[in-house]
Every structure is written in structure tokens, then in C-alpha cells.
């Protein structure tokens, strides 16, 4: 891809329209090569103030725009996503190390989010409740929250930003998006251009690339009435604390350490294929990644050997130059973190079956066994291409191992008996469970979200979006005025 010589995001911020900002300019580094592929203007706390003020001043008018016009803008945005697919996918690959099919899937998923959001403004937005007072009508309706702050991570930066941005806009809110600086072009600047070109009124949507300081300023700002955050549990906890203190709504979609349970009556060819996909897709940098492979002792050797041979067949390299299954991790810090977790686990007695080596920002698809639950590879969210395998001897033990993790995002259960798998599903504290499939599952019409340390019960998708991005208002009407005792 030829990178544009001097794109607008190098010098300007999208504060409802492109404007100059006071913040620093940083290098955008390609994880696959270490090359500087662009520059990026970073926002400051002062820009949060500017954006919040503009958003407050434009949100009410946006909320009043008729539903069919809102829907038209969102449909146009969806169409532009498809029209600009090559440009967006190229940036996703160069900026984030995504392989082509991952970039394609993410774009299609974002398109679905836009289309689904376009259908929201025409949904019924209230109910009429009875009253015990004669002549009184109780109207109850959904209303916008005001300005919604969206904070997104770098792993699926387009989808995980826009799954909040589109429905929040559809429900009449203004939105300030803070993408991660590692993914702010595809996950921020390009989306600003799309919404602007789709006809979204100026001032309603803002993109403020920046790190924790900008995020904190957004969370603290009194004009921002809700935070929709996707990211790590540690940061989510801090944001939740601030939102509690400032009394704002917080939707927190956090980390995971997801188990795939393989019972002795499972189809091991399918289970190992699901295990490999769930563990190695996008270099394992997915919240729903299969981070714990729990296998019945009697089939563990067979599962391990099938999983290892699938891992060994994966091609790794620069996804911008060759067709590979796996690209680089997002940067050296993440790659070294994965290496450290594996090495510490090996020191504690784990055995590498295949992989286990870092090459710069790349980490080999790794299968590791003799794992115990006190090892970091089992207890921590690795966020890398590592598949730790552990054994169990009974369904109860499998449930205990799944529930041992404080996270509860996704799980998979493989068994020849659906009834047996369903019994296990009913005993585990996990938000999304897939029987005879893998953990990285996302269907946009089905509410998505985790339990425990994976979130605070916010849900994305389908009917959940209406409730998530609105508050409610009760308006009562007395046909004739009423006299009270005094
Ligand atoms: P992160 O928590 O470090 O960062 C996420 C976002 O928060 C970034 O934009 C970052 O700049 C911002 N941020 C960091 N500190 C902040 C602070 N103090 N205040 C406000 N904002 C702050 O997470 P990450 O490393 O970018 O992403 C990986 C994590 O995200 C993993 O734990 C993964 O499981 C999780 N994740 C969850 C989901 C989900 O849907 N549940 C999806 C994808 C990723």
C-alpha cells in the first residue's frame, strides 16, 4: 500500500470536524517491520474539554433529527465501509499486524454493526404504564444519555470501537472515541472520515487518540455521561471506580481466560481444530482466546498431538507481504510479556510441546503441557499464541477448573452428548458458552458479554444496544389537575 504523503491525522484531531490540536505528534510503527509508516496527532486533556463542550452543544439537535434521517446516515456509513474496504484493511494490516482474513472479518463485522444500528432509531422507544389515579397517563420512554465516551483497545480496534459508536449515535447520543495510539488510524481517523462523509452533523462525533491520561480525562469529565470501555480488567476496574464516584454509567467489557473443555467422547479432530483456531487466531490477541485447554486424561495425549501438529502447520510472517496464518504481536512489549509468561511456567515444570520461541515481535504458535493451575500460563490472560493443556478426570473437576479463573467471558465444551455438555454449561460461570465450537464467537444480533472479572454485565448487540446506550424518562399526564390535602 502507498501511504498517503501527509494525511490529515498527522496534524489535526477530529473534534466534530478536523481541527488543529496542541498535543504531540507520535510515530506510527508497523509491528511487522518496525518501520515508521505514519505520524499521528495525539490529544490532550484540553482537547477532551473542547470535544466535550462541542458535543454537549450539538447533541440535543442530533437527538431531534428524525429517525429515518439518522438511519440513512448510518446506512451510508455502512456503505462507505465497504467502498473503502481496501484502504481500511491495508491500515489494519500495516498498523496492527492483522492477517488479511482477520481484517476482512473485522470490516464485515463493523459493517453489520452499522446496519444493525441503522435499524435502532425506528424501534419503539417506550411503553405506556397503567395508573391507579383516574385520568392519569404514564408514559415511559428511552432517551439519550447525552455524551458517551468510548474507550477502545488495539486488537480489533475498528469493531470494538464502532460496536459502541454506531448504536450510541443511533440512540441520539454524541460520542467521543478514544482509540489506543497503537491503532488510531484504522480504529479512529478512518472512522471519523467515514461518519463525516456519511453526513453526520458536525460536532456529534469526536476522535481523540491518546494514552491513559486522555482516557482518564474523558472518564472524569462531567459532561461525559457514560463510558463504554473495552480493554483490560485492571484498567476497567479503575474506570469503574471513577464512574462510581462521578455517578456515570459504565459498560465494561474486559479480559478473559477462556477454557475449552474436551470430554472423552468428543470428536478430537473437531476439538483440536477448534482449539487451534481459538488459541492462535490473530496471534492469540483476542479477549475470547482459548487460553486454557482442559482435556479428559484419557484423550489428552491424542488431543495434544493433534493440536501440536496444527500449530506446526501455521505459517508466520509479515501479513502485508505474504499470505500467512499469523502475523506479529502488536509490539515488542507484548511479545516479551508472552515470552516471560511461558518461561516462568516452564521454570515451574510446564513442558513445551511445540513453539515457545520469540523472534522480535513474532511469537511461535506454542502448545504447552504439564500445566498446573498455579502457573502464570494458566492463571493469567496470556494474550498471545499459546495453548496450555491441562487434564481432568471427571465432569465435576472440569467445571471446577473452568470456574477457578476469576474471568468469565467465553468457554467451549466438546462432547458427543449435547445433554452432557449442557449440564456442564449450566454449572460454569461464563457469559458465552459454545458447544462443539470454539471460544472466539461473536454474532452481532446476540447480546455479547462476560461475567466475573470479564465485565460488569454490560451487553453489546441486538436488543441489548437499546438499553445500553439510553436512559429512561417517565412522563405522566393528568387529564385534569389534582388537588392535594395541602
Ligand atoms: P488496556 O486496558 O491497556 O487499554 C484499553 C484502552 O484503555 C486503550 O485505549 C488505552 O489507551 C486505555 N487506557 C489505558 N489506561 C487507561 C486509564 N487509566 N483510563 C482510561 N483509559 C485507559 O487494554 P489493551 O491492552 O489495549 O487490550 C487488551 C485487553 O482488552 C485484554 O485484557 C483483552 O482481553 C481486553 N479485551 C476485551 C474485549 C471484550 O469484549 N471483553 C475485547 C477486546 C479486548
Query: What average pLDDT does this structure show over 4-26?
Result: 91
Instruction: Examine the pLDDT at 1 and tell me if it is beyond 70.
Output: no
CATH number of the domain where residue 211 is located: 3.40.605.10
338 and 419 co-located in one domain: yes
Query: From the alpha carbon of 154, which atom of ligand 1 is closest?
Result: 26
Q: What percent of the chain has pLDDT over 90?
A: 96
DSSP string computed for 309-344: HHHHT--BS-TTTS--SB---SSHHHHHHHHHHHHH
Q: Which residues, other chains included, contact 469 with Cβ-Cβ below 8 Å and sequence gap of 6+? A: 144, 145, 148, 164, 167, 168, 170, 171, 173, 226, 228
Spacing, Cα 449 to ligand 1 middle (Å): 15
**Spatial separation of the C-alpha atoms in residues 315 and 313, rounded to whole Å:** 6
The mean pLDDT value for 396-413 works out to 98
Q: Is 381 in the pocket of ligand 1 (CB under 6 A)?
A: yes
**Cross-strand pairs, 470:** 144
Q: Is residue 2 part of a domain?
A: no
Within-domain flag for 141: yes
Top mutation candidate among 232, 241, 337 for ligand 1, by most atoms within 8 Å of CB: 232
Helix (H, G, I), strand (E, B) or coil at 176: strand
pLDDT at 444: 86
Residues 174 and 299 both lie in one domain? no
Tell me if 229 sits within 8 A of 236, measured CB to CB: yes
What is the per-residue pLDDT for 462?
Answer: 83
In short, whether 175's Cβ falls inside 6 Å of ligand 1 is no
Is residue 441 lining ligand 1, measured as CB closer than 6 Å?
no
The pick from 163, 235, 464 for probing ligand 1's pocket by mutation, whose C-beta has the most ligand atoms within 8 angstroms, reads 235
Ligand 1, closest atom to CA 180? 9
Q: For residues 99 and 325, what is the distance between their CA atoms, to the nearest angstrom?
A: 7
Query: Mean pLDDT over residues 160-181, rounded?
Result: 98
Residue pair 139/476 in contact by the 8 Å Cβ criterion: yes
* Residue corresponding to grid cell 465516551: 149
Mean pLDDT, rounded, for 338-363: 98
Length of the chain: 486
Residue 177 in any domain: the answer is yes
Residues 441-452: what's their mean pLDDT? 93
pLDDT tens across 200-244, in order?
A: 999 999 999 999 999 999 999 999 999 999 999 999 999 999 999
Alpha carbon distance, N-terminus to C-terminus of the chain: 76
Location of C-alpha cell 431531534: 64
pLDDT tens for each residue of 81-114: 999 999 999 999 999 999 999 999 999 999 999 9
Nearest atom in ligand 1 to the alpha carbon of residue 454 is: 41
Q: Coil, strand, or helix at residue 5? A: coil
Q: What are phi and psi of 187, to 5 degrees?
A: -90, 15
Confidence category of residue 2, pLDDT binned at 50, 70, 90 = low
pLDDT band at 449 (very low <50, low <70, confident <90, very high): very high
Say if CB 117 and CB 165 are below 8 A apart.
no
Q: What's 154's DSSP letter? A: S
**CATH number of the domain that residue 335 is part of:** 3.40.309.10
**Does residue 152 have its Cβ closer than 6 Å to ligand 1?**
yes
Distance CA 169, CA 157 (A): 18
Cβ atoms of residues 277 and 295 within 8 Å: no
Question: Does the CB atom of residue 377 touch ligand 1 within 6 A?
Answer: no
User: CA 154 to CA 184: how far, in whole Å?
Assistant: 8
Examine the domain organization and report whether 229 and 275 are in the same domain.
no
Look up the domain containing 391 and give its range: 258-435
Structural domain count of the chain: 2
- Closest ligand 1 atom to the C-alpha of 152? 9
Distance 153 CA to ligand 1 centre (A): 5
Q: Does residue 364 register a pLDDT over 60?
A: yes
Residue with C-alpha cell 479432530?
A: 269
Q: Say what the pLDDT of residue 455 is.
A: 97
User: Do residue 134 and residue 112 come from a single domain?
Assistant: yes
**Mean pLDDT, to the nearest integer, of 392-406?**
98
- pLDDT score, position 191: 98
Q: Whose CA is nearest to atom 22 of ligand 1?
A: 212
228's enclosing H/E stretch is strand 226-230
Catalytic residue list: 253, 287
Q: Do 395 and 425 lie in a common domain?
A: yes
Q: How far is the CA of 235 from the centre of ligand 1 (A)?
A: 7
Ligand 1 proximity of 239 Cβ (cutoff 6 Å): yes
- Does 289 map to a domain? yes
pLDDT tens digits, 34-74:
999 999 999 999 999 999 999 999 999 999 999 999 999 99
Average per-residue pLDDT for the chain: 97
* Whether the CB of 48 sits within 6 Å of ligand 1: no
Quickly state the pLDDT bin for 485 (edges 50, 70, 90): very high
Within the chain, how many helices (H) and strands (E) appear?
Answer: 15, 23
- Residue 136 domain flag: yes
- Does residue 462 contact residue 299 with C-beta atoms inside 8 Å? no
pLDDT of 217: 98
CB of 230 shorter than 6 A to ligand 1: yes
Residue 148's pLDDT is: 98
- Same domain for 191 and 279, yes or no, is no
352 and 396 co-located in one domain: yes
- Verify that 84 and 14 share a domain, yes or no: yes
Query: b vs e for 144-159, b when ≥16 Cβ sit within 10 Å of the residue's Cβ?
Result: bbbbbbbbbbbbbbbb
**Residue 433 confidence (pLDDT) above 90:** yes
For the stretch 23-36, pLDDT in tens is: 999 999 999 999 99
pLDDT recorded at residue 193: 97
256 lines ligand 1 (CB under 6 A): yes
Closest residue CA from atom 30 of ligand 1: 231
What is d(CA 237, CA 245) in angstroms, rounded to the nearest whole number? 12
Phi, psi of 328, rounded to the nearest 5 degrees: -80, 165
User: Is 231 near ligand 1, meaning CB less than 6 Å away?
Assistant: yes
Looking at ligand 1, which residue's alpha carbon is closest to its atom 3?
232
Residue from 395, 408, 390 nearest 456 by CA: 408
Amino acid at each position: 500500500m502507498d501511504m498517503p504523503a501527509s494525511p490529515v491525522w498527522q496534524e489535526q484531531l477530529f473534534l466534530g470536524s478536523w481541527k488543529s490540536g496542541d498535543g504531540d505528534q507520535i510515530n506510527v510503527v508497523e509491528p511487522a517491520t518496525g518501520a515508521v509508516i505514519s505520524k499521528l496527532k495525539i490529544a490532550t486533556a484540553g482537547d477532551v474539554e473542547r470535544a466535550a463542550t462541542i458535543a454537549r452543544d450539538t447533541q440535543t439537535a442530533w437527538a431531534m433529527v428524525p429517525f429515518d434521517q439518522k438511519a440513512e446516515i448510518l446506512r451510508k456509513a455502512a456503505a462507505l465501509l465497504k467502498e473503502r474496504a481496501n484502504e481500511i484493511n491495508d491500515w489494519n494490516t500495516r498498523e496492527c499486524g492483522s492477517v488479511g482474513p482477520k481484517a476482512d472479518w473485522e470490516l464485515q463485522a463493523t459493517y453489520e454493526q452499522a446496519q444493525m444500528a441503522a435499524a435502532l432509531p425506528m424501534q419503539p422507544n417506550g411503553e405506556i404504564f397503567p395508573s391507579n389515579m383516574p385520568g392519569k397517563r404514564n408514559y415511559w420512554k428511552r432517551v439519550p444519555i447525552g455524551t458517551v465516551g468510548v474507550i477502545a483497545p488495539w486488537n480489533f480496534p475498528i469493531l470494538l470501537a464502532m460496536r459502541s459508536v454506531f448504536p450510541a449515535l443511533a440512540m441520539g447520543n454524541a460520542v467521543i472515541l478514544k482509540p489506543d495510539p497503537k491503532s488510531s488510524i484504522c480504529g479512529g481517523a478512518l472512522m471519523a472520515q467515514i461518519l463525516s462523509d456519511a453526513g453526520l452533523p458536525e460536532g456529534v462525533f469526536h476522535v481523540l487518540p491518546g494514552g491513559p491520561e486522555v482516557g482518564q480525562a474523558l472518564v472524569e469529565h462531567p459532561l461525559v455521561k457514560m463510558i463504554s470501555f473495552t480493554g483490560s480488567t485492571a484498567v476497567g476496574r479503575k474506570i469503574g471506580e471513577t464512574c462510581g464516584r462521578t455517578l456515570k454509567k459504565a459498560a465494561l467489557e474486559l479480559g478473559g481466560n477462556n477454557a475449552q473443555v474436551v470430554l472423552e467422547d468428543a470428536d478430537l479432530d473437531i476439538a483440536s481444530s477448534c482449539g487451534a483456531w481459538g488459541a492462535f487466531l490473530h496471534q492469540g490477541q483476542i479477549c475470547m482466546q482459548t487460553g486454557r485447554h482442559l482435556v479428559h486424561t484419557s484423550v489428552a495425549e491424542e488431543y495434544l498431538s493433534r493440536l501440536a501438529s496444527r500449530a506446526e502447520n501455521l505459517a508466520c510472517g509479515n501479513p502485508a507481504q505474504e499470505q500467512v496464518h499469523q502475523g506479529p504481536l502488536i509490539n515488542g512489549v507484548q511479545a516479551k510479556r508472552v515470552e516471560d509468561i511461558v518461561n516462568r511456567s516452564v521454570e515451574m515444570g510446564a513442558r513445551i510441546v511445540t513453539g515457545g520461541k520469540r523472534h522480535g515481535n513474532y511469537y511461535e504458535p506454542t502448545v504447552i503441557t504439564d500445566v498446573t493451575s498455579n502457573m502464570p500460563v494458566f492463571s493469567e490472560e496470556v494474550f498471545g499464541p499459546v495453548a496450555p493443556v491441562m487434564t481432568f478426570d471427571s465432569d465435576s473437576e472440569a467445571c471446577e477448573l473452568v470456574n477457578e479463573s476469576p474471568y468469565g467471558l467465553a468457554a467451549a465444551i466438546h462432547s458427543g452428548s449435547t445433554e452432557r455438555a449442557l449440564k456442564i454449561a449450566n454449572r460454569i460461570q461464563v457469559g458465552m458458552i459454545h458447544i462443539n465450537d470454539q471460544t472466539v464467537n461473536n454474532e452481532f444480533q446476540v447480546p455479547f458479554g462476560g461475567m466475573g472479572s470479564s465485565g460488569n454485565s454490560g451487553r453489546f448487540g441486538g436488543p441489548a444496544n437499546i438499553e445500553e446506550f439510553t436512559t429512561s424518562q417517565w412522563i405522566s399526564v393528568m387529564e385534569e389537575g389534582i388537588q392535594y390535602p395541602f
